[in-house]
Amino acid sequence: MKYLSLFFLLTISISLKAQETVNLSHYLFPDFQPGVVLMKNGVRNNVKLNYNAASEEMVFDENGKILAIDEAVLPQVDTVFIADEKFIRMNNKFVKIIINEPEIDLFVEHKCRLIPPGKPAAYGGTSQTSSITSYSSIMSDGRVYNLKLPDDYKIIPYNVFWLNRNGKLQSFSNLGQLKKIYRDKKKLIGDYLKENEVKLSNEKSVSDAINYLENN
């Protein structure tokens, strides 16, 4: 992977990534959106932005080149605005704000699993594995930064939610973990989940559940 130090708008260093045919299978948005990178010093940088769920980086299009904000610059970033969405840095990751109220905050961290091509197995079959070796390989040769991954890779997006409740930040990626967070409202959440299908792939579905549990 090649890195190149440049002035990102107002002296922000960046790392250069490769670009291929537009097919944003592992990016959050279907294409690069007009956005703003707000720095902690108040400087606003207008750029076309997207989020790479495979590398978990905020990236932008600079004259046809895909660039990611360098780690040295990330501590200076306050908020990233893409289209109608707002992202902040939390636990060294970009998370999207879903609910931001005085008593509760809900964030979502967008991620994805990359499943490499199946390997020959016994009796003429194939076996698929998301081994660290295969993932490290696709990371190190730069393919994960391309707009299009090889056709033989499967991409499985998923969400990790972060809930700041009663001054305590907790994460959940399944309904069992959500139930534990609301153990003080065991019957309420049990009844809600029986009557409503809460899908963790659907941010509104999750936010509706949280709003109901907090207001009842």
Each residue of 41-65: pLDDT tens digit? 999 999 899 998 888 889 888 887 7
Q: What is the pLDDT of residue 154?
A: 79
Q: Are 60 and 48 in contact (CB under 8 A)?
A: yes
pLDDT of residue 140: 43
Compute the distance between CA of residue 158 and CA of residue 203 in angstroms, rounded to an integer. Answer: 11
The Cα 145–Cα 60 span in angstroms is: 11
Strongest mean pLDDT among 18-22, 109-113, 175-179 = 175-179
- Nearest residue to 49 (alpha-carbon basis) of 8, 11, 98: 8
Nearest to residue 116, comparing CAs of 129, 126, 103? 129
Task: Quickly state the pLDDT bin for 139 (edges 50, 70, 90).
Answer: very low
Is residue 145 exposed (0-12), middle (13-18) or buried (19+ Cβ within 10 Å)? buried
> Model pTM?
0.77
Percent of the chain with pLDDT over 70: 72
Integer angstrom CA distances of residue 195 from 84, 180, 188, 206: 31, 19, 11, 14
Where do the H-state alpha helices sit in 12-145? 132-140
Residue 105: name the closest of 95, 113, 91 by CA: 95
Q: What is the mean pLDDT of residues 97-116?
A: 90
Are both 147 and 192 inside the same structural domain?
no
The string of pLDDT tens digits covering residues 148-207 is 666 677 788 899 999 999 889 999 999 999 999 999 999 999 999 999 999 999 999 999
pLDDT of 213 > 90? The answer is: yes
Give the count of domains, the chain.
2
Residues 201, 95 share a domain: no
For residue 136, which phi and psi values (nearest 5 degrees)? -60, -35
User: Which of the listed residues 168, 190, 205 is the one where a domain comes to its end?
Assistant: 168
77 and 113, same domain (yes or no): yes
116 and 157 in one domain?
yes
Cβ distance 112 to 158 under 8 Å?
A: yes
- Say whether both 178 and 164 belong to one domain: no
Supply the DSSP string of 128-171, one letter for each residue: ----HHHHHHHHHTSGGGSSS--TT-EEEEEEEEEEEETTEEEE
Mark whether 163 and 192 lie in a shared domain.
Answer: no
Domain that holds residue 2: 1-168
Query: Is the pLDDT score of 18 beyond 70?
Result: no
- Average pLDDT of 10-29? 51
Calculate the average pLDDT of the chain.
Answer: 78
- Answer with the residue of higher pLDDT: 165 or 13: 165
Q: Is the pLDDT of residue 113 over 90?
A: no
178 and 137 in one domain? no
- My answer on whether 115 and 216 are in the same domain is no
Whether 180 and 107 map to the same domain: the answer is: no
Residue 25: pLDDT band with limits 50, 70, 90: confident
Q: What angle do CA 38, 39, 42 make, to 5 degrees?
A: 85
Are residues 193 and 139 both part of a single domain?
no
Residue 64's pLDDT is: 78
CA 215 to chain centre: 28
The whole-angstrom separation of Cα 182 and Cα 97 is: 20
Question: Are 74 and 111 in the same domain?
Answer: yes
193 and 101 within one domain: no
